[in-house]
Amino acid sequence: MRKLRYVPILIMIVLGASLGGIAFNAFLIPHKLLSGGVSGVALILNYIFGLNPGVLIFIFNIPIFLAGYKFMDKEFILLSLVGMTVFSVSIDLFSFLKNVVYIEDTLLSCLYGGVLNGIGMGLVFRNRASQGGVDIVAVIVKKYFSMNLGKTSLLINIIVIGIASLFFGLEPAMYTLVSMYVASTVLDKVQQGFGSSKSVMIITDKEQQVADAILKTLDRGVTYLEGEGAYTGNKKRVIYCIVALKQLAKLKQIVNEIDSSAFMAVSDTAEVLGYGFGNRGI
């Protein structure tokens, strides 16, 4: 039964990696757009010598996986191997799309390619895997330096694109950077989740009633923080909770009905992990 838990994970990894292959063939390759990391090198060799990009991606990733084995756990490496293999195969499997789907506008093509590629990479990352290449480097950096995945990949890939622009000119490189920025932004959204959350601090004289209402009506956890008024010196319990964006209006209504003079501070929360929110993935 324990092994069955990997079935939905593998399905999402295969789906995400396949979307990457579709994005490359339908939007990037027809316009001779570039890419970063291992796939970028593979596309450069494909454009110049006509070599098979899918095979090149697989070959180039072998030493990266061997190096990554020292830093990451076995489960991540094995799942990433699946993601990388599917991505490599899908580059060739969906090659027919180069002739079926063609958008003349290069900017539209790079935007749609970036969105689709970002969704694919995000699905793979959300399921504790990667597509190899700089993805593994990005995960290592996130693990040890807490930098988000999309921006780390973008910084590394800018260097690769800069070198590639020497061969293909500045215009394809600039379009590629647009596509990569869109992909990195979408990646972070998918990886963190599209459901934005809000952290709320509430100061009220009726903290018990407010807390009980939040627990009962919104089914969200509440934490009491010890506070003290700087002017009055009075000690008071401050309510702290995190709610989904769609619950914020209801929370305001609850607080207003119980204590219309209550003080509320609402702030954005980039990522929430734990019971009732997300899983603690990579």
Does residue 147 carry a pLDDT above 80? no
Q: What does CATH list as the number for 197-269?
A: 3.30.70.120
Residue 255 pLDDT exceeds 60:
yes
Q: How far is CA 267 from CA 73, 146, 197, 264, in A?
A: 35, 21, 9, 10
Averaged pLDDT score across all residues of the chain: 86
The answer, yes or no, to whether residue 85 has pLDDT greater than 60, is yes
pLDDT over threshold 50, residue 203: yes
pLDDT for 19 equals 96
pTM: 0.74
Question: What is the Cα–Cα distance from 260 to 125, expressed in whole angstroms?
Answer: 44
Length of the chain (residues): 282
Q: pLDDT per residue over 230-241, tens digit each?
A: 888 888 899 999
Domain coordinates of the chain in residue numbers?
A: 2-192, 197-269
Residues whose CB falls within 8 Å of the CB of residue 2, separated by 6 or more in sequence, listed in order: none
203 CB neighbour count, 10 Å cutoff: 19
What is the average pLDDT across 101-106?
87
Position with higher pLDDT, 123 vs 141? 123
Most confident of 122-131, 148-157, 252-261: 252-261
What was the pLDDT predicted at 282?
A: 45
Q: Which residue has the tokens 């004289």?
A: 205
Sheet harboring 235-244: ordered strands across?
223-228, 235-244, 197-203, 263-269
Q: Phi and psi at residue 132, in whole multiples of 5°? A: 80, -165
pLDDT at 146 over 80: no
pLDDT computed for residue 228 by the predictor: 87
Between 278 and 62, residue with greater pLDDT: 62
